[in-house]
Chains A and B, each alone.
Chain A
Amino acid sequence: MTNADLKDGWELIVGLEVHVELGTATKLFCGCVNQFGDEPNTNICPVCLGLPGSLPVVNEKAVISAMQLGRALNCSVNRSVFARKNYFYPDMPKDYQISQYDQPTNTDGYLDLPSGVRIGIERAHIEEDTGKTVHIGSTGRISGSDYSLVDYNRAGVPLIEVVSHPEIRTINQAKEYVEELRGILLALGVSDAKMEEGSIRVDANVSVRTTNEGGLRTRCEIKNVNSLRSLGRAIEYEANRQIDLYENGESPSQETRHWDESAGRTRSGRSKEDAEDYRYFQEPDLVPLNPNSEIIHMIDQGLPTFPSERRTQLAALADIDIAEIALIVERSHDDFASETIRAGATPQMAIKHLTNNLSDGLGKLTPEAFTSLLQMEENAELTSTQAKKVLGELVLKGGNPQEVAAQFGLEAIDTDQLETLIDQLIANHPDEWERFCGGEKKVQGFFVGEIMKSTSGQADGKAINQILNARTSE
């Protein structure tokens, strides 16, 4: 859905809050192992259990990771302090969360999307994760449950919360934003960035306004979105819900809403009026983080090349629009593509195969084999169908394309041979031919199918069509 898909005259406004679990070896404030999926309550100690008297000590690696992410998002990295966010919940051992408030580590950055749009980043701050609560009983929610179990393995796992400005205008941009952020996290190696395991959690602040209207209307925060698909569905549902309200003379109230995947709708959660007063204040058990310019410089020096830059590089090399190579970069096949192109392969052909026929990975395919395969196709030694077949084998078993083609007995049938076969076929099926000439397009399939059958699939479909069309005009 683009803006054009919203009801006429309405515009979508989305800001995303993405929680990223860092993949550090240990937790944010203690030496416990940071690992998903272990036996409940095995990776715990006095600190992450918030036992009386325990004190947090910040994990240097986590801070560096946060600063790396900040720099990757073009943020300024500031002197920052931790703050306590106070509220009661059983999965939060201290009944306050150590987070950052008015002095976060990273501020004022941006993220460039593959579609060319730049989304502002307000902040990317460090905080600790909570434990996990399972409510046992009929409803699965805390009210009405018989009892609840809490697993504190996740308590104290380092999180970075990346907050965008409300500058996302389409569902596609929202998805692109999350995908792009994932790409950066993976390039940095600071998180496994798995949405399904909760190592990336996305909340969407959604509002709508009429086209050309200045200012922002009331937003709702959508939680419990567990995949990119859900994100898209949830935003679409919520935008339309709000538009319907406005068009009925009502207006949405500011609240948290939960996405219900099976029902395909958002449900009212906590309203602004019930919102907790978190009573933020500076965490007295920790000292400020004050990176000097040397540390920032060191971080900048160590940054890898990010997807946006890689896209630009590949697009320039291939002389192709950025949007067409985005998928290749996302799969990290861009180095492979560049090498092939530099070795002399036609960029369009390389991009076509990489995009369409190599989505499951490159396997044992080498850039040399790929290049020479593309050259065979280019020289019409193989049809595109044959090339695809050889490619599949090269991915699976490796080797060079000439040998594989020979093993399969593949060689493109030359045009003379093909013309003879087609003429014979027309002669044998005059009725079908007459219908084809009369414009009955579905008969085309019959001719192509018959030729493929008689050549064991080695004929080039495109060439068959060209010959058939040429014959009709004769």
Chain B
Amino acid sequence: MSSIIPATSLTAQTIAEKVQSGEWTALETLENYLTQIAKSDAEIHAFNTVLEDEARAAARAIDERVALGEDVGPLAGVPVAVKDNLCTKGMRTTASSKILENWNPPYDATVVKRLADAGATLIGKTNMDEFAMGSSTENSAFGPTRNPHDLTCVPGGSSGGSAAAVAAGFSPVAIGSDTGGSIRQPASLCGVVGVKPTYGGVSRYGLLAFASSLDQVGPFANTVRDAAIVHEVIGGYDPKDSTSISEPFPSFLDAIEDGVEGLKIGIISELMGDIDGISSEVIQKTREAATLLSKNGALVEEVSIPASLYCLSAYYLIAPAEASSNLSRYDGVRYGLRVDGETLAEMNINTRTEGFGDEVKRRIMLGTYALSAGYFDAYYGKALKVRRLLAQNFDEVYSKYDALLSPTSPCTAFKLGEKTSDPMTMYVNDVCTIPSNLVGHPAISVPFGSGSDGMPIGVQILAPPMQEALMYRVASTLESAEK
């Protein structure tokens, strides 16, 4: 099997230290990554756009500031790949959709601005499932991304480009968005760390909305610490996002090495067995992780989140419902693709028919139906009830446990084309990750060995809202034991 995995990878932490100290320049650091991209991205297709010139200009500016003795920031000279659904001023932002193929936003997403302010260099915009709808990055209008561990496999999705970019050594860290697992599942399939923050922990301003009540932006990295560093940079209150949390979060880094001694960790029993397509290897690895945590002094036992069984159904009503509304604006009137017609309605229809891919159309139709008069209560209304019930379940469990453990993805990376014919088999990939989105809690996927196919397996740590510090502690323990 053909793979493109660098022998060693630098951490963002190391790069920032070396660049800030003047030992390395931001420019030469960047060039190394650009060389790797030039060499291998044709095969992997992690990027929709590589921002060579812009990144070089940014790197030079950082080097100048370092030369002047300025403190450039925690990501000094660190290249960052950003998912192509985050707005970058004057730089193409497509959401991997034909409908936005040539759209240049007039503004930066808050996350993009914070990265730049922290000294990062934006190396490129990564491929994704169109409008973040998918679990394999095969739903991109610009072609699929391939898994760096095996080019015949998918990298997961929807943030497959960002996960692959970190795994392939195209960028030390990357940014994705997670609506039902779109950071954690590709992180698991590509063998990197991926984090979905507490809802409201990272600004959504400038994130092209898929499902507003579920979307969160988060980091990919090679190490748990790098993920926490990037998370601290992009997180925090943003007055431009009304759902942003204004209270400060405890530091993600201060306690990261504190271990798990005395913590009570629950294994979600509903996600450990009777699920369509869940592999015994994945369950086995999750149990190994549990054992490891107990060995490190945590109390680990099985707990029940009964409502998790209904999450997939609830999610595939709520997310499409919100999406059907969020994607209405792509109507050919103001920006993006326009396909003319005899009448206004015809122009709208032609534009959307040609501009959206099948999965996006499928979800717009599902969501429109779920919100329609006469069906609202039976579908959308009921899904909201599941969501409330799930939140109660979690509250009860978190009254007794500090964090929870589960698989991230039910299986390792699958082959391109393997699950495209039946949407349902693809949707099941999100079964373990969706609960955190529905309740707005943080969760992380940490690489934890590989399957008999040689492909990476990740395990998931879930924590109560705003308890990322704890989540990173547990994840860091798993990571150091694994290494």
Write the residues of chain A forming the contact surface with B, with a CB cutoff of 8 angstroms: 46, 49-58, 84, 86, 88, 90, 93-96, 142-143, 148, 150, 277, 279-281, 284-287
Kindly list chain A residues whose C-beta atoms are within 8 Å of the C-beta of B380: 281
With A86-B325, A88-B348 as contacts: A95 and B331 at CB distance below 8 Å: yes
Q: Is the CB of B105 within 8 A of A142?
A: no
Q: Is the CB of B242 within 8 A of A57?
A: yes
Q: Is the CB of B328 within 8 A of A53?
A: no
Q: Mostly helix, strand, loop or mixed at chain B's interface?
A: loop
With A53-B87, A86-B328 as contacts: A285 and B242 at CB distance below 8 Å: yes
6 cross-chain pairs, A with B, having the tightest CB-CB distances, nearest first: A95-B328, A284-B213, A279-B371, A284-B212, A53-B206, A52-B208
Q: Is the CB of A285 within 8 A of B329?
A: no
The smallest beta-carbon distance between A114 and chain B, in angstroms, is 41
Kindly list chain B residues whose C-beta atoms are within 8 Å of the C-beta of A86: 324-325, 328, 371
Q: Is the CB of B334 within 8 A of A49?
A: yes
Kindly list chain A residues whose C-beta atoms are within 8 Å of the C-beta of B240: 55, 57
Interface centre among A143, A148, A281 (most CB of B within 10 A): A281
Residue B207 at the A interface, CB < 8 A? Answer: yes
Q: Is the CB of A53 within 8 A of B205?
A: yes
Neighbour of B329 across the interface among A52, A58, A281, CB < 8 A: A52
CA separation between A191 and B371, bound complex, in Å? 35
Kindly list chain B residues whose C-beta atoms are within 8 Å of the C-beta of A150: 333
Q: Is the CB of B334 within 8 A of A93?
A: yes
Q: Mostly helix, strand, loop or mixed at chain A's interface?
A: loop
Number of interface residues of B (CB under 8 A): 46
Q: Is the CB of B368 within 8 A of A51?
A: no
Residue B51 at the A interface, CB < 8 A? Answer: no
Q: Is the CB of A84 within 8 A of B206?
A: no
Between A and B, how many residue pairs show CB distances below 8 Å?
Answer: 100
Kindly list chain A residues whose C-beta atoms are within 8 Å of the C-beta of B331: 88, 90, 95
Residue B10 at the A interface, CB < 8 A? Answer: no
CA separation between A148 and B343, bound complex, in Å? 11
Residue B243 at the A interface, CB < 8 A? Answer: yes
Kindly list chain A residues whose C-beta atoms are within 8 Å of the C-beta of B345: 88
Q: Is the CB of A53 within 8 A of B325?
A: no
With A96-B325, A96-B328, A286-B242 as contacts: A53 and B207 at CB distance below 8 Å: yes
Kindly list chain A residues whose C-beta atoms are within 8 Å of the C-beta of B85: 53
Q: Is the CB of A52 within 8 A of B325?
A: no
With A279-B372, A281-B380 as contacts: A57 and B239 at CB distance below 8 Å: yes
CA separation between A60 and B20, bound complex, in Å? 43
Kindly list chain A residues whose C-beta atoms are within 8 Å of the C-beta of B321: 281
The smallest beta-carbon distance between A237 and chain B, in angstroms, is 31
Q: Given A52-B87, A279-B371, 9 more contacts at CB 8 Å?
A: A51-B107, A52-B105, A53-B206, A54-B107, A57-B242, A281-B376, A285-B212, A285-B243, A287-B242
With A95-B328, A279-B325 as contacts: A52 and B93 at CB distance below 8 Å: yes
Kindly list chain B residues whose C-beta atoms are within 8 Å of the C-beta of A56: 242
B329-342 CB mask vs A (1 if < 8 Å, else 0) is 11101110000000
Residue B78 at the A interface, CB < 8 A? Answer: no
B55-94 CB mask vs A (1 if < 8 Å, else 0) is 0000000000000000000000000000001110000010
With A57-B240, A285-B243 as contacts: A51 and B106 at CB distance below 8 Å: yes
Kindly list chain A residues whose C-beta atoms are within 8 Å of the C-beta of B334: 49-50, 93
The smallest beta-carbon distance between B109 and chain A, in angstroms, is 6
When C-beta atoms are compared, the residue in chain A nearest to B214 turns out to be A284
The smallest beta-carbon distance between A86 and chain B, in angstroms, is 5
When C-beta atoms are compared, the residue in chain A nearest to B345 turns out to be A88
With A84-B325, A96-B328 as contacts: A58 and B242 at CB distance below 8 Å: yes
CA separation between A90 and B335, bound complex, in Å? 12
Kindly list chain B residues whose C-beta atoms are within 8 Å of the C-beta of A88: 328, 331, 345, 348
